[in-house]
Structure 1
Amino acid sequence: MNLDAIWSKLFGKIPVAEKTLGDYLSALPLFQGLSGRELRALEQQVYLRRYAEGEVIFREGDPSFGMYIVVSGAISIERRVPDERRIILATLLPGDFLGEMGLMDDAPRSATAVAKGPSEAIGLFGPELQKLTQHHPDLGLKIFTSVGRSLCSRLRRANEELQRIPRAQESIVRGAGHE
């Protein structure tokens, strides 16, 4: 069975009456600047999926196959903590993407993604991106560059948050000393 058949069976290419996948793709910040030809090529390799409230997109520990871009609704990224509670790490909105590490390596998913109401996401999976890159190397480079820039931005924000922790701890310690 070929990969297209597997992905179509798992994720289904949903016909969209009012919008094409290309319309969705061209509106996403991740794909800004792609030409019409590039968007049409990309459109052939992605999958639109609708999720019901509470539906799991992927679970922590699942194999990674690729990434998703939120088109509508909201998706929360959750992680299990030692006492078995789940904490929400982030809530992603249209234009945000998740699971991008699945394009880079085969490590298991590091968190669980859950639809926070009716949501739509576009899936771009490793085998399709590889095929796209073989046939359209410039397009593959543009996609990886865009994902890379977004990852750099996320890393910078995470570093800024980490730098705030010692200051917050210091403030708490000073406040506790005045009681």
Structure 2
Amino acid sequence: MSRIEFAPGEVIFRQGDPSTHCYRVISGRVEIRIDVPSAMRRGRSTAIATSGRGDLIGDMSLIDNAPRSATAVALERTVCESYSAAAFLRMLEAEPDEASSYVRRLIHRVRDGNRKLARGAPPRG
């Protein structure tokens, strides 16, 4: 694990990139964005969530070994702890309470996104 500081507007990771690390936000805020066909034609992305202190970002790609599903951008000076895929998976295996809490948070994110999509609004975290 290492600490990394990001400046406002700095890209932490990009949609489509391979995933090697996830990040826990220590301080600051991060906007999660996705490229959608209509937005891509105009060169823009859609914000779907904002993450802050204590939140994990970039974790889903470590679990399913898929490319990044979104882009993460620091909204302000942001400090994160970076975990390699191996370190993240070891942590989940070694700390059952943390793993259980992580699964609950992940399910909450999915359910919240489903509710917002059903209402026609983009998910916001």
* Short-chain TM bin: 0.7 to 0.9
2:73 paired residue among 82, 93, 114: 114
* Closer, same or farther: CA 161–59 of 1 in aligned 2, 3 Å: same
Tell whether the 8 Å contact from 2:61 to 2:69 is kept in structure 1 after alignment: no
Ranges in structure 1 where 5+ consecutive residues have no aligned partner:
1-45, 169-179
Q: State the TM-score, normalizing by the size of structure 2.
A: 0.80
Tell me the amino acid that sits aligned with residue 59 of structure 2: E
C-alpha RMSD of the superposition: 2.0
Aligned counterpart, 2:13: 58
Q: Secondary structure at the match of 1:63?
A: coil
- Contact 2:58–2:68, Cα closer than 8 Å, also in 1: yes
Aligned-partner residue type, residue 121 of structure 1: C
Displacement after TM superposition at 1:51 (Å): 0.7
Q: What is the one-letter code of the residue matched to 1:76?
A: E
More strand by share: 2
Q: Following the alignment from structure 1 to structure 2, what is the Cα–Cα distance between the partners of residues 159 and 81?
A: 17
Shifted more, 97-106 versus 56-65: the winner is 97-106
Return the TM-score normalized by structure 1: 0.58
Matched, 1:104 2:63: yes
Partner Cα separation in structure 2 for residue 95 and residue 74 of structure 1: 10
State how far apart, in whole Å, the 1-side matches of 2:16 and 2:113 are.
22
Query: Rg: which structure is higher?
Result: 1
Question: Are the equivalent residues in 2 in contact too, given 1:66–1:101 (CA < 8 A)?
Answer: no
Q: State the AA in 1 paired with 2:35.
A: R
Q: Which has the higher contact order (CA 8 A, sep 6+)?
A: 2
Indicate how the Cα distance of structure 1 residues 126 and 63 shifts in structure 2: closer, same or farther if over 3 A, else same. same
Question: Identity rate of aligned residues, in percent?
Answer: 38
Please give the alpha-carbon distance, in whole angstroms, between the structure 1 residues aligned to 2:13 and 2:118.
31
Measure the CA separation in 2 of the matches of 1:164 and 1:129: 34
Q: Point out 4+ residue stretches in structure 1 off by more than 4 angstroms.
A: 130-133
Aligned residue pairs: how many?
A: 117
Aligned partners of 2:16, 2:118: CA distance in 1, in Å?
29
Between Structure 1 and Structure 2, which shows a larger proportion of helix residues?
Answer: 1
